[in-house]
Each structure stands twice: as structure tokens, then as C-alpha cells.
Amino acid sequence: MPGRRLLLVFPHPDDETYGCGGSILKYVREGAEVSLLTLTKGEASSQGPKRGLTRAQMGDMRAAEMHLLRDHYGLKDLFLLDFPDGALAGLDPRELERAVAETVRKVRPHVVVSYPPHGVSGFIDHLVAHAVVKRVFAELRESIVPLQRFAMQTVCRADAELVPRRLFLEPDDAIDCAVDVSAFTEGRQIALDIQESIRDVIAKDGAGGALLRNFEHYSFWQEQYSPWVDDLFHGLDTSDEAHP
């Protein structure tokens, strides 16, 4: 359906592929405009020292991969910022909020996607991203009329059991949406392969099949759906006439 706009905001390269890669491919194929804002270049990855790379070199490598992913996914826009990886909690949150708000004003999305309060893995950068995006969404949803939903990417219990590390979960009755991405397994695998800089991490996390799961799950902030819906745009007015 044309006219639908989706903005994903995550702290690191790979966050979007791990949690939302199938959703990106699905909505782009359906004609939606999907944009991605990444707050850091991911330079603090543990894989950098293992490759003999400085932080700057690792950041450059991962940034180059993000541009390849932009083309693979068919993103409308990629906004790749350079806030310090692993140190977002030490920044003035207003600086992060200004950067996210500027992007929201440019994209004018109907739906913004980021992490839930626990960040799925509990990593501090994920928690900061959630707080910043929620604050910006709450501030702008009345002045940017198309902006209607904050969707938080999460993992259901069954999928979490496939991952060889502890994840924080939403109870199933707190999940609102399950997007069927089973038709995009090949495209998701290509996206994972593009991120060669962290191939060992991806191999470990994906060993149980969780990274190529059939559904990607979301909770909607201040909304509740039971049973789960199957569309991030469910119930929203995305007509251009309604939101000039």
C-alpha cells in the first residue's frame, strides 16, 4: 500500500537486521517508504580487536556495510550518525533527542520502531535508545500529524529459547503484533551475510534459528491488541489526503 512511512531508530548497525530485517523487506516490497536511523557506527564491537582494527577502522567497516544494507533492503533513507558506541548513557539526552526529532521531522513517519524498555538484551545503549525515541514520539505526535504509533521490537518466549544468551522478554499478553516474515528468509540471510564484520557473533546468535524466525514481534506503546494483529500499520490512517 503506497503512502505508508516507517522509521526505524536503533543505536547500532545490526540492531535492525536482528530484530526487524524481515519486516523491512516485507514493507518495502509492499511499497512502503522505510527509513533507518542508526545512532552509532558500532565501533565498540568486540570483533574489532579480534580483527586487529582500531575503533575508527571498525566503525568505518560497519558503516560501509550499512550502505550495502541500504541498497539491499531498498531503504528510502539511511541516517548514519556518529555518537559514541557503548557510551550513549553518558551523553546529554537532549542531544540525542534533537537528532532523533530532526529525523522524524524529515521522514514524517506513520510508525516509529525502536527497542522496548528492557532493550531485549539489556544493553545500556538499547535502553537509552528506547527512552530517547519514546520521549521524542510523545513530544512530536501531536505536531507531526502522520505520526501515530511507537512500535517496540521484542522477542516472544518461544523465539528467545532459541538464542544462546539471556534475553529480556515481554509476556505474550504484552505483545501486540506478529509480522509474518517467513517469505523473506533468503533476503534476511543476505542481510546477515553483508555484516561480515560481526560474522562470528551472528553465527553464534543464529545457531538455533532465531535470526531467521517466521515472525517478528512488536509491542505498541499505549495500545493493546488481543489477539495480536499482523501489521505494524493496523488501524492507522495513512492516506496522504488525511495527512498532508
Domains of the chain (ranges; CATH) run: 5-220 (3.40.50.10320)
Instruction: Convert the pLDDT of each residue in 32-55 to its tens digit.
Output: 999 999 999 999 999 999 999 999
pTM of this prediction? 0.95
Q: What is the pLDDT of residue 1?
A: 46
Long-range contacts of 160-166 (CB under 8 A, 24+ apart): 160/210, 161/208, 162/208, 162/209, 162/210, 162/213, 163/205, 163/208, 163/210, 164/204, 164/205, 164/207, 164/208, 165/121, 165/205, 166/122
Nearest to 174 by CA among 211, 228, 123, 131: 228
Parallel, antiparallel or unpaired: strands 5-10 and 33-38? parallel
Residues in the chain with pLDDT values less than 50 = 1, 241-244
Written as nine digits, the cell of 87 is 557510551
Q: Are 36 and 68 in contact (CB under 8 A)?
A: no
**CB 192: neighbour CB atoms within 10 A?**
21
Find, among 87, 53, 32, the residue nearest to 198 by Cα: 53
* Axis-axis angle for helices 15-29, 55-73 (nearest 10): 20
User: What is the reported pLDDT for 242?
Assistant: 47
- H/E stretch holding 138 reads helix 124-140
pLDDT the model gives residue 181: 97
CB–CB of 66/17 below 8 Å?
Answer: no
Are the C-beta atoms of residues 31 and 228 closer than 8 Å to each other? no
Q: In this predicted structure, what is the pLDDT of residue 113?
A: 98
Q: Where do we find the cell 500499520?
A: 233
pLDDT, residue 124, reads 96
What's CA 169's distance to the chain center, in Å? 16
